[in-house]
């Protein structure tokens, strides 16, 4: 039996991301989706599967479970990454918000907002070009092109992954994001995302800002100086986007670095990130798993006293 979500709110089904928020709670983002045993079909989710779970790290107890309705997390959605702003005045509940990317390879990409006090959630900039993969996009890792492998047909296509990397600005007023299948960087004022009136979707679409290209990357992270770090697979590097002047510069480069993801800035002043060889997994052409263990976790000292961004 494949558990896909219905009546399984108390189970983890397909966890995509884990993040520690500004007050040291662990949040688990569950897509509610898993592959069939033959690896050919990503089963659609149902209510109870897609969820956001908060954990008290002092005693490992569950604090809160937020379930996403099918109108927010569609059956073919893929909840990818999450960031938190706990500044009390931004919501009536005073508990802050979470921002989530839907990177679905099946088309309906967008940004999801969650009121952490009420548990309500909603979508914005759905299916617009800013959150969708670039048509005909081909990325390279270690000099090799990366194509998507369709296990059902045995054919190859361009990578169809939408909105993925996500990071808040240092003051929480802007959310930066990118589709995975793109080199483009975008942002949107978070006030537009939190708005839920009749014109809010149109205004959010109009409020998206394009910041130019930043390389082929997955996860993002911000430090206390406002720099936004992200991978650049094609350069075996982690780069930093400076929102104050719009430039992208190499932060660290090493031949051991490939598919950078799960970036996290700690209070110790280091950036931690994984190199997970995702481009060598069975989801990429030619459809065989070519990853070589062990996988790698790196850390690098941040410049100018940069530390974990605390938005409370």
CA–CA gap between residue 94 and residue 87 (Å, rounded): 7
Query: In this model, does residue 7 exceed pLDDT 70?
Result: no
Residue range 175-200: mean pLDDT, rounded = 97
> Per DSSP, what are the bridge partners of residue 248?
241
Single out the residue of 161, 155, 108, 116 nearest to residue 134, CA to CA. Answer: 161
Could you tell me the sign of the dihedral formed by the alpha carbons of 57, 59, 64, 68, in that order?
Answer: positive
- Give the pLDDT band of residue 5 (cuts 50, 70, 90): low
For 102, residues 6+ apart whose C-beta sits below 8 A from its C-beta are 73, 74, 77, 78, 79, 80, 108, 109, 110, 111, 112, 123, 131, 162, 163
Both tokens assigned to 242: 């400076």
- Give the pLDDT band of residue 14 (cuts 50, 70, 90): very high
Phi-psi region at 220: left, alpha or beta (left = phi > 0; alpha = psi -120 to 50): beta
Query: In this model, does residue 159 exceed pLDDT 70?
Result: yes
pLDDT above 90 coverage of the chain, percent: 92
Residue range 116-127: mean pLDDT, rounded = 97
Residue range 113-132: mean pLDDT, rounded = 97
DSSP tag of 284: B
pLDDT in the model for residue 299:
98
pLDDT, tens only, 203-256: 999 999 999 999 999 999 999 999 999 999 999 999 999 999 999 999 999 999
What does the longest C-alpha to C-alpha distance in the chain come to?
53
Q: Which residues of 242-276 are buried (b: 16+ CB within 10 A; e: fewer)?
A: ebeeeebeebbeeeebbbbbbbbbeeebbbebbbb
Query: In this model, does residue 2 exceed pLDDT 80?
Result: no
CA–CA gap between residue 59 and residue 120 (Å, rounded): 27
Decide: helix, strand or coil at residue 191.
helix
Query: In this model, does residue 36 exceed pLDDT 90?
Result: no
Could you tell me the sign of the dihedral formed by the alpha carbons of 107, 110, 116, 117, in that order?
Answer: negative
Average pLDDT score, the chain: 95
- Give the pLDDT band of residue 39 (cuts 50, 70, 90): confident
Q: What is the pTM of this model?
A: 0.96
Query: In this model, does residue 171 exceed pLDDT 80?
Result: yes
Residue range 183-209: mean pLDDT, rounded = 97
Both tokens assigned to 219: 């996860």
Show me where the domains of the chain are located.
Answer: 15-305
Cβ count within 10 A of residue 186: 21
Could you report how far apart the first and last alpha carbons of the chain are, in Å? 43
CATH number listed for the domain at residues 15-305: 2.120.10.30
- Give the pLDDT band of residue 38 (cuts 50, 70, 90): confident
DSSP tag of 73: S
Decide: helix, strand or coil at residue 236.
coil
pLDDT in the model for residue 85:
98
Residue located via tokens 């928020």: 21
> Which of 155 and 100 is assigned the larger pLDDT?
100
Backbone angles phi, psi at 160, to 5 degrees: -105, 30
pLDDT, tens only, 85-107: 999 999 999 999 999 999 999 97
Where do the DSSP E strands lie in 133-244?
139-141, 144-146, 148-149, 156-157, 163-168, 174-179, 184-189, 209-213, 220-222, 228-232, 237-242
């Amino acid at each position: 039996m494949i558990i896909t979500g219905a009546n399984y709110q108390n189970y983890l089904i397909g966890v995509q991301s884990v993040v520690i928020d500004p007050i040291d709670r662990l949040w688990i983002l569950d897509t509610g989706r898993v592959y069939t045993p033959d690896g050919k079909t990503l089963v659609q989710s149902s209510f109870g599967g897609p969820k956001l779970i908060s954990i008290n790290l002092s005693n490992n107890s569950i604090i809160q479970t937020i379930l996403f309705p099918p109108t927010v997390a569609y059956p073919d959605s893929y909840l990818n990454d999450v960031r938190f702003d706990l500044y009390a005045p931004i919501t009536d509940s005073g508990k802050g918000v979470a921002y989530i990317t839907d990177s679905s390879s099946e088309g309906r990409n967008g940004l999801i907002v969650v009121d952490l006090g009420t548990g309500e959630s909603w979508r914005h900039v759905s299916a617009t070009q800013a959150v969708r993969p670039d048509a005909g996009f081909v990325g390279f890792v270690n000099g090799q092109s990366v194509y998507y492998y369709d296990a059902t047909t045995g054919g190859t296509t361009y990578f169809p992954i939408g909105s993925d990397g996500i990071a808040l600005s240092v003051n929480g007023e802007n959310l930066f994001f990118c589709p995975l299948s793109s080199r483009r960087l975008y942002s949107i004022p978070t006030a537009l995302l939190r708005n839920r009136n009749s014109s809010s979707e149109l205004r959010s679409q109009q409020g998206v800002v394009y910041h130019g290209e930043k390389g082929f990357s997955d996860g993002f992270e911000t430090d206390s100086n406002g720099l936004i770090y992200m991978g650049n697979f094609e350069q075996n590097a982690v780069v930093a986007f400076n929102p104050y002047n719009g430039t992208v510069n190499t932060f660290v480069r090493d031949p051991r670095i490939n598919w950078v993801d799960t970036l996290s800035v700690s209070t110790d002043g280091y950036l931690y990130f994984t190199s997970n060889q995702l481009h060598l997994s069975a989801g990429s052409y030619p459809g065989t798993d070519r990853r070589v263990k062990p996988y790698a976790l790196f850390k690098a000292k941040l410049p100018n006293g940069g530390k974990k961004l605390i938005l409370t």
